[in-house]
Structure 1
Amino acid sequence: MGFHTYDVDRADALEDESRYRHLSAEELLAALRPHPEMTVADLGSGTGFYTDDVAPHVGHLYAVDVQEAMHDIYREKGLPETVETVVADVASLPFGDDDLDAAFSTMTYHEFASAESLAELARVLRPGGCVVVVDWSKTGDGADGPPTDERYGVSDAASSLEDAGFAVDRAESRLETFLCIASV
């Protein structure tokens, strides 16, 4: 992934419910439109905070993270039945072409934002599949999240997704974050 990975020693902060002020479970579910036959990937799943919100609504959910230690913490917390952990970088996903119905990234886009990663994501999503990205905005004040020089703006993310062959269905800025929903 890009500039850094999240410090495993601070993993307990990933379970802080105040994270919902940036993206509620309801908003994530509305964007993904999950159903029991879906196969989904959480890109940069960490300890599974948002993974747990999606897991009851889909048939299979891959919790993708580059740090096995994050998966260890998630397993200690208890994996939902529909979740399978995968250690991988988004630029090299271990899925076949068109394997996923959807993918989502919550506050991790800045860690994998590259043409290679987005091309890989387009490869593994089925035609009509969607990706939901919520991340720290470069226009935020930087009180939470990574340093502002490691962030992207909504227009940066939307342009990169379009360059990778996605159609951006929704792109909006927020106080500290941005949201992009795109489909292949």
Structure 2
Amino acid sequence: MKMLLKSVFAVTALAIICLSFTAQAETVTPRAVNQVDIQKYAGKWYEIAHLPMYFQRKCVSNISAHYIVNADQTMGVLNSCRIENGEMISSEGVAYPQNQGNSKLKVSFLPPGLRWIPFTKGHYWVLRVDPEYKVALVGGPSTKYLWILSREPQLDEAIYKSYLETAKYYGYDITKLIKLSH
């Protein structure tokens, strides 16, 4: 009987180890798409969901981002949201391309005179965008930040779930996503 219990324990332990390796193998490091047409990407995007982050702690609804292409091929960024007292707040920044395909950007929301300071820009990687540039998944090289964006304030549930699967594939904890209304 003792030998049987040891065998069952050994098999169970082995199964748990195998399952943990299988679960890890199903996720990959986030990877930006090869190419983003910044002219098509420009415009207004509604945030459908995001992972919790310090800079959005006051936002309770109506989160959006508006991008414009600057003459130097950087992108102007205007993020806005409604806070608890009903007021709209915004933050203005600039996104700097980091690769030839414009799918990896570094974004700074510091005042223009301070944007040169090293280590003050955040990663903004387009991880997935549909061919019509209507829905996008944005993150970075880590799984700390994530946004699901749409050109419309509401997103079809099937499309949303598809983007969740992509996020999950890249190792993001989608159980922590915050969905706010517009």
The two structures have a TM-score, normalised by structure 1, of 0.34
The two structures have a TM-score, normalised by structure 2, of 0.34
Higher relative contact order structure (alpha carbons within 8 Å, sequence separation ≥ 6): 2
Q: Give the greater-gyration-radius structure (CA).
A: 2
Identify the structure with the greater helix proportion: 1
